[in-house]
Structure 1
Amino acid sequence: MKYYFTLIVFCTAIVLGHSQVNPEKQLGSWYMLYGTFRVSDKISINTGIELRYYEIITNYNLDLFGTGMSYHINPKTALTVNYSYLDIDRSIEFTEISNTIEHRLYEQINNKHNLWNLPINHRLRIEHRFLHTINDNTIQNRLRYRLGTKIKLNKTLYIAVSNEIFVNFTEDVFRENRTYAALGIRLHKTLKLQLGYMKQHINNLNLDRLQIGIYLNTDLRKTQ
């Protein structure tokens, strides 16, 4: 699988790669690897890695490493706690602070249901962000709500669509919004690949982002 992922990144870079300075005038990229490991009827472990760039594979933006645990109340609802470490480079955004280290904690609830025949997913998350720069250490809290759906096209392909709004507990309340659409490919019963596009409004910037994500979901429970 890693060879397919490398090939996709390489080919995309050849076709779309270019050099620009203004982040609003370039197509950036997010490369993501997420795993969910079900260890009991009620508990699963979550892990994730993200690499983000202002261009396809150049002008590094940030990397993210996270892990957490989910408690499944029932097949449709789960509670999650998570810790993530982020190394953020924002020098291209013309800010005074070029590098930030973030330790992020969040609590989250996921709920799934059907609206007529359309599957609906709600995700509500509260984040606590511990930000460390060369000049200052701050704590920020925010609320995130994502509404999404996945539509099966056949046994292999599906379409994923979502919108997520961010609400900060500061004077700059509505700082970010993400609108996302992707084509999903089921490579195996435990493995999915998503090729998507995201329109991201953040810090008064309107950014276009290509997303390539690999999602691994395994069940480690012993067969009874």
Structure 2
Amino acid sequence: MYARFGYSILFVLYQSIVLAQNFDENSSGSWLEFSGTGTLNENWSIPVAGILRHHELFETYDFSFIRTGITYHFNDKSSFTGGIAYVNSKSYPETGIATNTKQYWIYEQFTLKTAIAKNNLSHRFRLENRWINKPETTYFTNRFRYRLQYTRPISRNVYFKTSNELFVNLDNHWFNQNRFYIGLGRKLTPNLKIDIGYLKNHFRNSALDAVLMGLNFNIDLRRDEIALFED
């Protein structure tokens, strides 16, 4: 089992690198992410997520992202989240001098999950209110995102995952970007998973091909028992 999973991971990684090079070696890179949930009670939880992106494999820093918030679970299939996020990114124009951009977000998100047999679908709708701070100006903009994600178990602990997410501007030209992902994951424990695969990120005038590696965790913050200490 472990050998098969290892070979599958190496195959996906190899294909990711080959695909990236076939598109444009100058726009390939790596994408590291983590996401997790801290459960407060049956209805409330705290999400957290982060991304670190590089041009080439782990070389030139491009983008970092962190977000958190509070989630209300209507049931085990649907939830609503409100929260904040921070983005730091660098662009590298022809002058060779890096330009730094910072973003501060407030976001609202609705998630709906459906399952038919072993096929699991997840719909995520997100509205982002963004303050973008560039060296010479700061402006406010709104963006809508829709992600459709599909997962299916391959074996007891290994699963296949693919997703596509469309980003739509609400203030100007409608197309912002599109992210497509395909890869494999493994459950290390009931509350800890790892993913690896290929990410294709389209923008209006460019594209990024990346090897994505992710870590997902769940932490139960509820305390069923209170320890009492006596002198």
Normalising by the residue count of structure 2, what TM-score does the alignment of the two structures yield?
Answer: 0.82
In structure 2, stretches of 5+ residues that fail to align are 1-8, 226-231
Change (3 A) 1:169 1:215: same
Q: Residue in 2 aligned with 1:55?
A: 56
Aligned-pair RMSD on alpha carbons? 2.5
The alignment status of 1:30 with 2:27, answered yes or no, reads no
| CA–CA separation in structure 2 for the residues paired with 1:64 and 1:25 | 22
Contact 2:175–2:204 (Cα < 8 Å) also in 1: no
| CA–CA separation in structure 1 for the residues paired with 2:24 and 2:134 | 22
**Which one is further off, 184-193 or 115-124?**
115-124
Q: Residue in 2 aligned with 1:100?
A: 101
Contact 2:118–2:152 (Cα < 8 Å) also in 1: no
Number of corresponding residues: 207
| CA–CA separation in structure 2 for the residues paired with 1:94 and 1:199 | 27
Q: Residue in 2 aligned with 1:218?
A: 219
| CA–CA separation in structure 1 for the residues paired with 2:93 and 2:54 | 11
Q: How does 1:1-224 map to 2 (within 5 A)?
A: 25-91=26-92, 98-115=99-116, 117-223=118-224
Change (3 A) 1:79 1:196: same
Deviation at 1:55, TM superposition (A): 1.3
Aligned identity (percent) is 33
Contact 1:62–1:88 (Cα < 8 Å) also in 2: yes
| CA–CA separation in structure 2 for the residues paired with 1:71 and 1:82 | 12
Letter in 1 for 2:40: V
Contact 1:23–1:54 (Cα < 8 Å) also in 2: no
Aligned to 1:25, the other structure's residue is in SS state helix
| CA–CA separation in structure 2 for the residues paired with 1:108 and 1:158 | 25
Change (3 A) 1:94 1:168: farther
| CA–CA separation in structure 2 for the residues paired with 1:165 and 1:67 | 21
Change (3 A) 1:95 1:178: farther
Letter in 2 for 1:213: G
Deviation at 1:115, TM superposition (A): 4.5
| CA–CA separation in structure 2 for the residues paired with 1:108 and 1:63 | 20
Deviation at 1:171, TM superposition (A): 2.7
Deviation at 1:23, TM superposition (A): 6.9
Change (3 A) 1:92 1:190: farther
